[in-house]
Chains A and B, each alone.
Chain A
Amino acid sequence: MLKRNINFLGRRKIALILSSVLLIISIASLAVRGLQLGIDFTGGTLVEVGYPQTADLSVVRNSLNEAGFGDATVQHYGTTKDVLIRLKTHEGISEKELSTKVLEAINKNAAESAQLRRVEFVGPQVGEELAQDGGLALLFSMIGILIYVAWRFEWKFALGSVAALVHDVIITLGLFSIFGLEFDLTVLAAILALIGYSLNDTIVVFDRIRENFRKFRKGSSEEIMNISLNETLSRTILTSFTVVLVLLALAFLGGAIIHNFAIALLFGVFVGTYSSIFVASALALTWGVSAEDLMIPVKEGADIDQMP
């Protein structure tokens, strides 16, 4: 492959503006519209039923209305044969009976009876705990990463990489908020996997920057970092491409349950790749990372000794 020389860091002002705009839109949307939280976090009941033929949603809605479930939301799920019914907590009916009652109600008037495919009920307290645990997982991952990168590299790199991760997470959440995609446990898992992926990318870039800082004794930090980014560029693109390949397979063939999981990661791969160049590296440079920071490093060749 030919040697490219793209001046990434020279364009960091443009990137800064772009990132800021995306962040502001995301935060604004999160503040105004919020996230379409799934019942994993809000608590409630969800019933998925399958029909032998395309289901008429208005018929299902009417049956539910008659039975007193007027507040249920009804929609197709995955295919037109499958219907997803969401219910809020109901007065007078215990959670135990709710799903049974719903199935009875929609089968009462229907010519073809629906088959129960899935019921999920999450108590409000459990939902709160799941949300809390998710938040904690995010927080502790960030802290762990901060410490590890500061130890292996340098604190400016550590801050840069964590800033990039916060950037990725907020923008991905923003996407879910803007398009009103449902945010459930699997999406939370995707966000955490995304952190892992985006960080992986950032570390590869940092690793090369560290190497080049030690190799080239001359040249400005910006020049050396630009060289490093260019050197790792083909790898960055190739890896992202293979991950995108499998994610596309998951998104289109994996079924409705992991669709949003795949979408979150798919979007995250793009944001994550962008952020390791234009956020993590650019911030480390802005905060004045220089060759001296990496000159007296951990013992040279320590890693190679560990090779099995």
Chain B
Amino acid sequence: MQNTFPLWKNLLILIIFMVGLVYALPNLYGDDPSVQVSSTRETKVEQAQADLVESAIKAAGFGVKSFEFKEGRVLVRFNNTDDQLKAADLLRDKLGSDYTVALNLAPVTPEWLQSLGAKAMYLGLDLRGGVHFLLEVDMDAAVKQAEERYNEDVRLALRSAKIHYHSVSKDNGYIKVKLKSADEKPALLSLLGKDFRTLDLTEPAAQDEVWLKLSEAEIREIKKFAVAQNMTTLRNRVNELGVAEPVIQQQGQDRIVVQLPGVQDTARAKEILGTTATLEYRLVDVEHDVQKAVRGQVPVASRLYYDKNGSPILLDRRVIVTGDQIVDASSGMDQDGQPMVSITLNGVGATKMGKITQANIGRPMAVVFIEYKVNTKVINGQKVFHKEKVEKVISVATIRDAFSKRFQTTGLDSPEEARNLALLLRAGALAAPVDIVEERTVGPSLGQDNINKGVTSATVGFVLVLAFMAVYYRLFGVVANIALAFNVVILVAILSMLQATLTLPGIAGIVLTVGMSVDANVLIFERIREEIRNGNSPQSSIFLGYEKAFATIFDSNLTTLLTAIMLFVFGSGSVKGFAVTLSIGILTSMFTATVGSRMIINWIYGNRRVEKLSI
């Protein structure tokens, strides 16, 4: 009973400690407020632009720490956030819409640590400021849109297969096909079996009818696609907004989390993320009487629209091109100084546009602006979301020439609207409308406050515990304190390795872990005192104290771990962060309090004659 560890055990503990120290280190360096310039296009930022950025900032006289130009991006570090904000505004004006200027917090981790893969913990939005949105994808709308598409596809397929139908209509989730005669039913069924396998088929009593419904599998597929497509679009839009390190993740079946660190203008962020605006181009129906249509007699091949002033206009039912065929859009002014969006179509869209404009020179064409608006109404105390598809004709112009790939659209209210529309068209349309069901915005000043308060309270709590332990348990207390410090280092190292997000409740979790991990050492030391009182020798008291306390420590920590895991499974957001720190803290404290402190005690008392323990 000499109370010594074999060499390998000592080495292993020391190695763990060293590794922990290295990976915890980056957190001490902090961040620089910085501005990141990247290109919105395929092309990367060239040296010329990098030089432009540098000279512009130097000319303005901001306090710059460094310029970095690599991987097609320019990163400028500043001495303070004030200069950072001003410089970002300056660069936005100078560089125009082809470049994204994003605010960023660039870590100051030195090269040698970076080369080891050591990174600082990621600060949560409550600490660095920013916006958190939880968006819900409107699945009903997605399914409805799909029904509409199928309805149109079935109609077209019947026409091209020369099957004569009386009507193809949507009714209560069904697409009902009514044939001119029941004789054509076999042809219809074979067509459906070939091209529309995703639709479930019902044959009602009427011989000349077939009812179709989206199959469960297809609905699942549509929903999956809607979320995936929306995430892509949101990612594009966020990139357009210029946000460094955004988080866009699916949560559950129909929700998407969007986190934008450092975003100041939340109103604009919300507008850009939630809008479902898109454009459609249609020919104007000049053959029929608009007034008749207003009275309810809308011609079969046309639809009634209204323009901005509320005057009615008849447009062709067929769409020439839709927003998803637009590959690029930029805003500007036309010759008359009116805001406009210049648009580039993809191959399919260009061909179609070319064909139709060629054949219809002299006929007017209309641009329809489509937007989903969500209104909340309270009916009988219940909140009801009412979604409205707003379609308005923003411009009507006579086709003077055939055009295809590139053209301009005018008729917008303001340069602002033109800019937003261009951004939205570039980023793509949302496959289904989204609602913001949760928002958490933290201003930058509050973020800094939270960091300061978190750090102060953690430090004070830690120091109080250290002081108490040293006074109460003397040398053993000092050993426990070393173990405690070791515990915090390893805990921070593991959290950094996992690239966990540090939140304010997370800091509270670390502090609480410190308070609770003292428990293991208290248990051991009380046990040692007891063994001494029972008349055991100092050496065997140390041995028995550690031995006997371990079962207790193991049991009590495991049950605490159990509740921490429940907290993680059912918690959300920052509560999850708390649960993660608490769980890892329990494990690391078990290690440091039993094995770590034992090693040091062994160094001090092991393998020699001891008369009295300093406990």
Q: Which A residues contact B (CB, under 8 angstroms)?
A: 1, 3, 48, 50, 89-91, 94-97, 99-100, 115-126, 130, 133-134, 136-137, 140-141, 144-145, 148-149, 152, 185-186, 188-189, 192-193, 195-197, 199-201, 203-204, 207-208, 211, 231-232, 234-235, 238-239, 241-243, 245-250, 252-255, 257-258, 261-262, 265, 303-304, 306-308
Q: Give chain B residues whose Cβ lies under 8 Å from the Cβ of A125.
A: 437
A243's partner among B450, B457, B515 (CB-CB below 8 A) is B515
Q: How far is the CA of A118 from the CA of B443 in the complex (A)?
A: 6
Give bound CA distance, A204 to B454, whole Å. Answer: 31
Q: How large is the interface on B (under 10, 10 to 19, 20 to 34, 35 or more residues)?
A: 35 or more
Contact A195 B563 (CB under 8 A): yes
CB-CB < 8 A to B383: which residues of A? Answer: 89, 124
The stretch of B24-32, B341-349, B487-495, B572-580 that contacts the partner chain: B572-580
Partner pick for A89 among B267, B376, B462, CB 8 A cutoff: B376
Residues of A within 8 A of B512 (CB): 193, 243, 246-247, 250, 265
Which secondary structure characterizes the binding site on chain A?
helix
Q: How far is the CB of B192 from chain A (nearest CB, A)?
A: 38
B286 within 8 A of A: no
Chain B nearest CB, measured from A43 CB (Å): 9
Contact B559 A196 (CB under 8 A): yes
Question: Are the CB atoms of A94 and B562 closer together than 8 Å?
Answer: no
Q: How many A-B residue pairs have CB under 8 A?
A: 251
B437 and A123 within 8 A (CB): yes
Indicate if the CB atoms of B582 and A141 lie closer than 8 Å: no
> CB-CB < 8 A to B530: which residues of A?
231
Contact in complex: A120, B563 (CB < 8 Å) = no
| B122-139 interface with A by 8 A CB criterion | 126, 134, 136
* A250 touching B563, Cβ below 8 Å: no
Provide the residues of chain B in CB contact with A97, threshold 8 Å.
267
B195 at interface, CB cutoff 8 A: no
Q: Give Cα A189–Cα B453 distance, bound, in whole angstroms.
A: 19
Q: Are A238 and B526 in contact (CB under 8 A)?
A: yes
Provide the residues of chain A in CB contact with B574, threshold 8 Å: 185-186
Contact status A308-B376, CB under 8 Å: no
CA distance A257 to B124 in the complex (A): 14
For B551, the closest partner residue in chain A by CB is: A303
Are B522 and A238 closer than 8 Å at their CB atoms? yes
Known pairs A246-B464, A250-B508; A304 contacts B555 (CB<8 A): no
Q: A91-B378, A246-B512 are in contact. Are A1 and B529 (CB under 8 A)?
A: yes
Query: Is B537 part of the binding interface, using a Cβ–Cβ cutoff of 8 Å?
Result: no
Q: A186-B575, A203-B556, A304-B551 are in contact. List 19 more A-B contacts (CB 8 A).
A: A90-B376, A119-B439, A120-B441, A126-B134, A133-B572, A137-B566, A137-B571, A152-B555, A193-B563, A196-B559, A199-B560, A242-B522, A245-B468, A248-B464, A250-B512, A254-B454, A258-B504, A303-B555, A304-B547
Interface, chain B (partner A; CB < 8 A): 126, 134, 136, 266-267, 270-271, 274, 374-378, 383, 435-443, 445-446, 449-450, 453-454, 456-458, 460-462, 464-465, 468-469, 472, 504-505, 508, 511-512, 514-516, 518-519, 522-523, 526, 529-530, 533, 547-548, 550-552, 554-560, 562-564, 566-567, 569-575, 578-579, 582, 591, 594-595
Among the listed B453, B526, B571, which residue makes an inter-chain contact with A235, where contact means beta carbons less than 8 Å apart?
B526
> Quick one: given A239-B522, A246-B511, A253-B460, are A120 and B505 in contact (CB under 8 Å)?
no
Among the listed A235, A243, A257, which residue makes an inter-chain contact with B523, where contact means beta carbons less than 8 Å apart?
Answer: A235
Q: A252 — which chain B residues lie within 8 A by C-beta?
A: 457
Contacts of B435 in A (CB 8 A): 123
24 A-B pairs, CB-CB below 8 angstroms? Answer: A99-B441, A117-B445, A117-B446, A118-B440, A121-B438, A121-B440, A123-B134, A123-B136, A134-B570, A140-B570, A196-B560, A196-B582, A203-B555, A203-B559, A204-B552, A231-B530, A235-B526, A238-B526, A242-B465, A243-B516, A243-B518, A252-B457, A262-B508, A307-B594
Cβ of A186 and Cβ of B505 under 8 Å apart? yes
B516 and A245 contact, CB distance less than 8 A:
no
Query: Contact between A196 and B376 (Cβ–Cβ < 8 Å)?
Result: no
Residue of A nearest to B509 (CB): A193
Report chain B residues within 8 Å CB of A254: 453-454, 457, 504, 508
Chain B residue numbers with a CB within 8 Å of A253 are 453, 456-457, 460
